[in-house]
Amino acid sequence: MTPVAASASVASDPPENLKSDLPTLRPTSIIHRTTWRPPVATYGEGIYLDLEDGRRVIDAVGGAAVACVGTSHPKVIQAIKDQLDRVPYVYNMQLSNEPAEKLAQLLIKSGNGAFELCGFASGGSEAMEGVIKLARQYYEEIGQPKRTNFIARQLSFHGNTVATLSLAYHPGRRGPYEAILDHNNYHHVSPAYAARFQNVDETEEQYVQRLAKELEDKFVELGPDTVIGFVAETVVGATTGACPAPKGYFAAMKAICHKYGALFILDEVMSGMGRMGTTHAWESFGDGAAPDIQAVAKGLGGGYASIGAVLMSKTVAEGIRGKSGIWKHGHTYQANPLVCAASVAVQEVIASENLLENCRVQGAYLSQLLHERLRGPNALAAPYVFDIRGGGLFWGIEFDFESPEAARVEMKGQKFAMTVQARALENGLIIMAFIGGSNLEGTKGDHILLAPAYNVTKAEIEKIVDVFVDTVEEVLKQHLVSD
């Protein structure tokens, strides 16, 4: 649960229902990412998880936008068992394996010509590390070793390793590591976050032009022939909560990268592999601008497998093929047969059960209900809901307490989003909260992310919205001071 923990580190109070149990919940031999030991899950079925205390909760965010076919799909479970009976592990410098070869083919085919080769990793951060190294390797091999600079964006998240924290920019996540991050090779431009940063007198097109100019200025400032590429999440997830870019943004960014011979790189670890209702988020939310390099992870293994992948275009593949012909990068569990077999099965389920379509249909319904219940005429939460945005089954709700009316909400030092997240769990709903995503300093922001599995039903969407809205209202009522 990468993003939650990063946010939760500042919200150190355990949920109410766990407070009295603290002595029995501790000690634990795990160094948890929360100050309390989270409840233990014992069983999963579809979008439901059973906890050790006998409660059954709904997972409305697929863990960390990971679970995409639920937690108990029989075809995926069978595929893992079958592979276990064949061969669970080989080391990919010595032997390849059938599921990995099959998954790679499936991924390349999914790009409809955008991709030529693929490499595997064991998760999103590893995939993004692989992206950084592949991009640098490419320029080194095609004879442009001067290219050493990456340009990414403020309020982005690309992983929790030192390099990916350097690449991304979110003050809270950088926290104690700021002093050891690389400030020479990683540079940042503004986020594409219209709700907060588009000027009131600016059209969408003008906003895109302003952001494009800023990127181009950054290229010029660094020296265009020193830039490796521009890196962005197609739809931002773990900082600003399901935040798509304005129309035309990615086409403009790609054009600038290519003007200066640099790479256009997308991080679809969270928003990719179907989450937005298309296999790749750039197909629907990125102007159809295919990247030169792309990372995917969460929805690739759907929670059945720790896996990530790096996809590269023909240009990048040919650059590498023309020189070393190898990816100078690897990990012990890369292309693991068991995880690749699970991933193939997850992707086959998405295709055979037409889940991209369901993702779009249920996503539209989720959006409709959220708008009605949170912003409708009699909605208690309406004055505090700043924005509802997203697509597919990836929806962010951003709260704000700066209006005069918001003075009526007294959180007594607690963060609203974190309190809602904790209360929702008590009410039987897992959601994900982020703080610090509403300004560049990372000091303001209350976001909630909803990202249920792609096979969620209409009735389950209704249940999710019911519990979520009730929880928001419950927290608001508890913290409203009378006039």
Ligand X SMILES: Cc1ncc(COP(=O)(O)O)c(C=O)c1O
Smallest gap, in angstroms, from Cβ of residue 72 to ligand X? 22
Choice between 158 and 373, CB closer to ligand X: 158
Smallest gap, in angstroms, from Cβ of residue 302 to ligand X? 13
Choice between 267 and 400, CB closer to ligand X: 267
Our CA angle for 49, 55, 56, nearest 5°, is 35
Smallest gap, in angstroms, from Cβ of residue 212 to ligand X? 22
- Please provide residue 127's backbone torsions phi and psi, each rounded to the nearest 5 degrees: -65, -45
Tokens of 419: 């309190």
Which strands sit side by side in the sheet containing 385-391, from one edge to the other?
Answer: 385-391, 394-399, 446-450, 432-435
- 8 A C-beta contact, residue 451 and residue 434: no
Choice between 126 and 460, CB closer to ligand X: 126
Smallest gap, in angstroms, from Cβ of residue 193 to ligand X? 15
Choice between 14 and 191, CB closer to ligand X: 191
d(CA 92, CA 289): 32
Q: Which residues of this chain interact with ligand X, rule CB under 6 A?
A: 2-3, 64, 123-125, 128, 157-159, 233, 237-238, 267, 269-270, 297
Choice between 47 and 238, CB closer to ligand X: 238
By the 10 Å C-beta count (0-12 exposed, 13-18 middle, 19+ buried), 344 is classed as buried
Our CA angle for 423, 411, 36, nearest 5°, is 45
Q: Following DSSP, what letter does each residue of 244-285 receive, concatenated?
A: EPPTTHHHHHHHHHHHTT-EEEEEETTTTTTTTSSSSHHHHH
- 8 A C-beta contact, residue 207 and residue 246: yes
Smallest gap, in angstroms, from Cβ of residue 165 to ligand X? 10
Smallest gap, in angstroms, from Cβ of residue 272 to ligand X? 9
Choice between 307 and 370, CB closer to ligand X: 307
Pairing of strands 48-51, 56-59: antiparallel
Smallest gap, in angstroms, from Cβ of residue 51 to ligand X? 23
Choice between 319 and 445, CB closer to ligand X: 445
Tokens of 55: 């409660």
- Point out the residue whose Cβ comes nearest to ligand X: 124
- 8 A C-beta contact, residue 256 and residue 216: yes
- Please provide residue 452's backbone torsions phi and psi, each rounded to the nearest 5 degrees: -70, 170
Choice between 124 and 191, CB closer to ligand X: 124
Smallest gap, in angstroms, from Cβ of residue 23 to ligand X? 31
By the 10 Å C-beta count (0-12 exposed, 13-18 middle, 19+ buried), 406 is classed as middle
The one-character DSSP state at 121 is: E
Smallest gap, in angstroms, from Cβ of residue 123 to ligand X? 4
Q: What is the Rg, in whole angstroms, of the alpha carbon atoms belonging to the chain?
A: 22
- 8 A C-beta contact, residue 286 and residue 299: no
Smallest gap, in angstroms, from Cβ of residue 48 to ligand X? 23
Dihedral of alpha carbons 102, 107, 111, 115, sign: negative
Which strands sit side by side in the sheet containing 227-233, from one edge to the other?
Answer: 117-121, 308-312, 293-296, 263-268, 227-233, 149-153, 186-189
Choice between 2 and 284, CB closer to ligand X: 2
Choice between 47 and 269, CB closer to ligand X: 269
